[in-house]
Amino acid sequence: MVKIRLRRLGYKKNPVYRIVVSNSTTKRETAPIEQLGYYNPKTKEMKLDKQSALKWVEKGAQPTQTVRFLIDRCNDDGTLNYEKKAVEKLSKKAQAKLEAEKAKADEEAKAAQTAEATEEASA
């Protein structure tokens, strides 16, 4: 069976991968049938020949789970469509303060609603 998979390059704790088409029974580091591109997970840099990858999939090549993800997220020019999540990390004190402010705002909103309801009822 032919697979589209990653071939690891780079040095210790700094991997760089080539996206290759190879036989599933061969080792990861053997000569591939075809090289489709490369991927650097640290910098999120990728270059992939998407048309060639899709042709291999049509022929019956099975991409690994990671390669399938990369092909799906790939733009037409072969670069990775990566959106960094904007998650702000807060300390425990800052989280507690934020929750207290939200609770206070909720109480004020409820008080304003009850005041409006009593004004409408009296009018």
| Full pLDDT tens readout for the chain, 123 residues | 899 999 999 999 999 999 999 998 888 778 889 999 999 999 888 999 989 999 999 999 999 999 999 999 888 888 888 777 777 788 889 889 999 999 999 999 888 888 888 877 776
Choosing among 3.90.960.10, 3.30.1320.10, 3.30.1540.10, 3.40.50.300, the CATH entry for 2-73 is: 3.30.1320.10
Q: Are 29 and 6 in contact (CB under 8 A)?
A: no
Alpha-carbon gap, residue 53 to 105, rounded angstroms = 53
Measured CA distances, 36 to 39, 69, 99 (Å): 10, 15, 50
The answer to whether the predicted template modeling score (pTM) of the entire model surpasses 0.85 is no
Q: Are 33 and 56 in contact (CB under 8 A)?
A: no
Identify the pLDDT of residue 36.
92
Alpha-carbon gap, residue 106 to 109, rounded angstroms = 5
Alpha-carbon gap, residue 90 to 93, rounded angstroms = 8
